[in-house]
Every structure is written in C-alpha cells, then in structure tokens.
Amino acid sequence: MTLMIYYIAFVLVGDAVAYVIGLLTEYAWGSYTSLVVFLASYFVVLWLAWLLAVWVTGPKSLSARPSR
C-alpha cells in the first residue's frame, strides 16, 4: 500500500511539472510541439515515478539493521 501512495504522489508532482513544461513549450513553439513534449515527459514521469517509489519503499540494507 505504501508503494502505491508514493507512486501516486510522485506522479502528481511529475504531471504538474510536465504540464508546466508543455505550457511553456506551447507559448514558445506552438501546439504540435507542445503535445509531443508533454506526451514524452508524461510517459517519462510514469516510469521515473515507479522507479522512485520502488527505491523509497525498498528493503533497507543489512548494515542498517541492528545486530543481535
């Protein structure tokens, strides 16, 4: 459950960044370029959010655990 919460949080933040990048691209180069840039960044965000969520929720190393 924690993994999905982190994933959704990372996706929300990344999508907001992708939207702003797409909006700035539209002002500079037009709607077609903006669409391409937004879609590319959107799918990169989905991939990176998953990698970050797995990394954050992954098991801790054995050296961090207290010894018995």
Q: List per-block mean pLDDT (blocks of 10 residues) for the chain, which spans 68 residues.
A: 95 96 95 95 97 92 64
Start-end of H helices in 2-62: 2-29, 31-57
pLDDT for the residue 22: 94
Domain ranges of the chain: 2-57
Cα angle 18, 53, 24 (rounded to 5 degrees) comes to 5
* C-alpha atoms less than 13 angstroms from C-alpha of 51 in its C-beta half-sphere: 7
Can you tell me the distance from the alpha carbon of 67 to that of 19, in angstroms, rounded to the nearest whole number?
47
36 token code pair:
């391409």
pTM (predicted TM-score): 0.81
